[in-house]
Structure 1
Amino acid sequence: MDMQGEQVEVRLVYETTAADLAQAIRVRDTRLPAGRRRRWLLCGFGGVLVCFGALAAFGPRPGSGPLATLIGGVLILALTLFGPWLTARAFAGLLAKAGETTALVTATGLRLSTKNTESRIDWAAQPLYAETADTFVTLSVTKRAAAMTILPKRGAASPADVDRLRALLDANLRRI
């Protein structure tokens, strides 16, 4: 509740885009410990493969095996770098089918609805959030599944609503 005792809520209306999803995946992968570990592991493994493949391919007895190792390492590094974009592109059709989303953010959590679905997310289910230039992303902290909700700033009716949304998130979630 705000100073006058009124219930504070912010309403967003938007269509989630592949760019929004790619940005949210990047946030998850860079700001959550599990995402950082996965990225470091993949980058390290890809780097080792590139080094071993290059040493073997350009050493005294080059062959196709070392070249495959080199290419595999480069591929792992490329997928680590472009993975969020590729994942978002894979989901583009589903995002388009969902159509317009209406999100109501209140002191108790989020209520999301599209033409085919409705869901309610309590703050305890996604206790973290991150802000990017274009979005707010709420995140879960479970090790096996990383649930997230994307709240694009363009869905707000006014800049004041973006500020009120930030205040609601700050009051109920931990910013990462």
Structure 2
Amino acid sequence: MDMIEQRSDRHGGEGGADGPAVELVYRTTEADFARALRLRGSRTAPARLKKWLFPLVGTLCLIAAVLLLTGDGRDVARAAGFLVAGVFLWVHGPLTPRLQARAFRGLLEKTGETRAVIDGSGVVLTATACDTRIGWAAQPTYGETDDLFVMLSDDKAAVSMTVLPKRGAQDPADIDRLRAILDANLRRL
């Protein structure tokens, strides 16, 4: 909290070079995290590969199961194995972000309410147990959904990400101001 107060005093409430700071107050939900993971997944090479590879291999498994069941030497046990693998691969892709988000449920609950202050110098997050400052270089790209902004690191898997739910804005105009700050400092995906 001291970090945010010092920053506000230093900037006189005016924010950085990109205009006044934008403040968001929110609780990150499991659904927010799942949406952010989906966005990240659509932007990273490994996730894009999984997006088409899992269904392709799943389809091949299902075809193998059908062939094993309809062939001369019906092999029900192997067909069942291929059937289970095929269905798993088809279901796994769409459910992965939701399952990963569910794994973080306890951490999200412990984090509690978050206050994010975004200005031309970066993002300061204040939550129940921590204060974090994220400079633009740490997460130089961002994406946007209908409900949130997601800042991403630029490593291949975009391991680091910051979720900024739009519902945390105090005023609807803050969303446009936040988008302008992000556009000025980050590369939009």
Q: Same fold (TM over 0.5)?
A: yes
Other structure's SS at 1:146 match: coil
Contact 1:134 1:153 in 2 (8 A): yes
Query: Counterparts in 2 of 1:18-167, with a 5 A limit?
Result: 18-60=30-72, 61-144=74-157, 146-167=159-180
Deviation by residue 1:71-94 (Cα, 9 ceiling, x = unmatched): 112112101111111111221121
Q: What are the ranges of 5 or more consecutive residues in structure 1 without an aligned counterpart? A: none
- C-alpha distance in 1 between matches for 2:184 and 2:82: 50
Write the letter of the residue equivalent to 2:130. Answer: T
Other structure's SS at 1:123 match: coil
Tell me the percent identity.
Answer: 45
TM-score by length of 2: 0.85
Contact 2:40 2:158 in 1 (8 A): no
Residue 59 of structure 1: CA displacement? 2.9
- C-alpha distance in 2 between matches for 1:85 and 1:144: 18
Contact 2:124 2:134 in 1 (8 A): yes
- C-alpha distance in 2 between matches for 1:22 and 1:159: 24
- C-alpha distance in 2 between matches for 1:6 and 1:156: 18
Give the superposed CA RMSD: 1.9
TM-score by length of 1: 0.90
Matched pairs, number: 174
Write the letter of the residue equivalent to 2:180. Answer: A
1:16 pairs with 2:28: yes
Q: Which consecutive aligned stretches of 4+ in structure 1 deviate over 6 angstroms post-superposition?
A: none
Residue 29 of structure 1: CA displacement? 0.8
Contact 1:139 1:146 in 2 (8 A): yes
Computing the radius of gyration from Cα coordinates, the structure with the larger value is: 2
Contact 1:57 1:67 in 2 (8 A): no
- C-alpha distance in 2 between matches for 1:87 and 1:48: 26
Q: What are the ranges of 5 or more consecutive residues in structure 2 without an aligned counterpart? A: 1-10
Contact 1:54 1:67 in 2 (8 A): no
Other structure's SS at 1:12 match: strand
After TM superposition, the structure 1 stretch with the greater mean CA deviation from structure 2, 135-144 or 147-156, is 135-144
- Does the C-alpha gap of structure 1 residues 58 and 120 become closer, same or farther in structure 2, counting only changes over 3 Å? farther
Write the letter of the residue equivalent to 2:36. Answer: A
- Does the C-alpha gap of structure 1 residues 53 and 69 become closer, same or farther in structure 2, counting only changes over 3 Å? same
Write the letter of the residue equivalent to 2:58. Answer: G
Residue 7 of structure 1: CA displacement? 4.7
